[in-house]
Amino acid sequence: MGRTRASARAAGTRFERSVADYLAATVDDRIDRRVKTGSKDRGDVGGVRAVLGGRVVLECKDVARTDLAGWTREAEVERGNDDAVAGVVVHKRRGTADPGEQYVTMTVRDLVALLTGSRPS
């Protein structure tokens, strides 16, 4: 039996919670899963900051098909909605539930923002 819409949403919620809890325990206890906000979505996990300041948007994906271009576009929109310095995609690595072993995808511009604390133009 394939994944239903409800089971997909539940898997996504569990994945977001897993990532948020891991980051809260290892980085900053203010990091938490965000409530969905509709068209002005600001990412799935809140409270994430670049080393030198500035918010970082995390978009979490637990899906069967990879769509890096679409996901990074979505993270960029949410970065803008949150006025964050970077938008990062955390996506499920098949074969492991360990949140520390999941994949992260971002543009080089987002990497520069994480490393310097400001977004290059």
pLDDT tens column, 73-104: 999 999 999 999 999 999 999 999 999 999 99
Provide the residue range defining the domain that includes 53.
5-116
Mean pLDDT of 108-114: 94
Full-prediction pTM beyond 0.85? yes
The predicted-structure confidence for 37-49, as pLDDT tens digits, reads as follows: 777 889 999 999 9
Residue 58 is assigned to a structural domain of this protein:
yes
Residue 97 inside a domain? The answer is: yes
CA distances from 114 to 72, 84, 92 (A): 15, 10, 21
Answer yes or no: is 121 within a domain: no
Q: What is the CATH number of the domain that holds 48?
A: 3.40.1350
| Residue 76 counted as domain residue | yes
Residue 56: CB partners within 8 Å, gap ≥ 6? 48, 49, 50, 84, 85, 86, 87, 88, 113, 114
Task: Kindly state whether residue 74 falls inside one of the protein's structural domains.
Answer: yes
**Total structural domains in the chain?**
1
50-80, pLDDT tens digit by residue? 988 899 999 999 998 999 999 999 999 999 9
